[in-house]
Structure 1
C-alpha cells in the first residue's frame, strides 16, 4: 500500500476508534502505524540519498565552472599574446590553409571613469524589496501593506 493510502486508512480508523473501543481496531491502528513509520523511514532514506546526489552535483558544477573560467582566462591571455606579436611583426592578417587570423577593430563601447559624474538621466533605478527589514517589522507587530507574516511547516530529517 502507498503512504497516502495508509495515512488515509489510519485517519479513518482513528475516527472509528473514538466512537467505539475495540481491540481489533487498536491492533489494526498499531499495524497501520508500523507500516506508515516504515514507509516514512524509507522515504526519508531516499531523500537523504537524493540530497547527497545534489551535493555531489553542486560540487561538480563548481569544479566545472572553475575549469571553464580558467580556460576562458587562458583564451583571453592567448588572444592578447597573439595580437601583441602580430602587431610587433606588423601583420594585420595571417591566412593559412586551415585558419585565418586577423586583427580588426571592435565595435565601440562605453567606459565609465566615474559613475558619480554621470547625469541622472542615464541612471536606471533598480528597486529591490528588503525582505529582512519587512520580516523584522512584521515580527514586531507592524502592518505593512502588501506583505504578511507566514509560518510554513516542513519535514526535517535527522
Structure 2
C-alpha cells in the first residue's frame, strides 16, 4: 500500500496529465482518491487513539504527582516523629541491628532582613549567597540582617 506522500505525488502527476489534455485518467484518479481517503481515515483513527492515550497519560501523570506528594508528606511526618522520639533518648542517639539514628547539629544562615545584607554577599541574580554569608559569620564578622542559627536534623545511616 502506498504511503500518503506517494499518493499525493501520484495525484499531482495525474492532475498535470489531465490539465495537459490526456483523457481516460478519471478512473485512475478516482482509485487514487479512494486510496488517499482510506489512508487519511486511517491516519485520523490513529491520531484519535494517540490523542486519547495522551489525555490518559496526562491524567495518570497528575495522579502520580499527587501520589508522590502524599508519599513525600508521609515520609516527612515519619521523620518528624523519629526526630521527636530521639529527643527523648539519652545522647540523642540510638543504634539498632540495621540502623544508627542520631541527631546532628548543623548551622544555617537565617536572613532576618535582606535589605541589610552587604552587596558583597548578594549574587548578581539578586540572590543572597548564604555560603559566603555563612563563612563570614563563622569567621566572627558581625553582619546586620543575618545570624547563624544552630539546627538539628535527623540522620539515618
| Fold in common (TM above 0.5) | yes
Which residue number corresponds to residue 17 of structure 2? 16
Give deviations 1:74-98, integer Å, cap 9, x for gaps.
Answer: 1111111211122134441111112
Q: CA deviation at 1:58?
A: 1.5
| Larger RCO, structure (CA 8 Å, separation 6 or more) | 2
Q: CA deviation at 1:8?
A: 0.8
Which residue number corresponds to residue 27 of structure 1? 27
Q: Cα RMSD between the aligned structures?
A: 2.2
TM-score by length of 1: 0.68
Question: Any residues of structure 2 matched to 1:21-100 within 5 Å, and which?
Answer: 21-22=22-23, 24-100=24-100
Unaligned runs of 5+ in 1: 127-158
Aligned pairs, number: 124
- Cα distance, 1:80–1:48 mapped onto 2, change above 3 Å: same
Q: Is the strand fraction higher in 1 or 2?
A: 2
Question: Any residues of structure 2 matched to 1:142-157 within 5 Å, and which?
Answer: none
Q: CA deviation at 1:33?
A: 1.2
Unaligned runs of 5+ in 2: 127-157
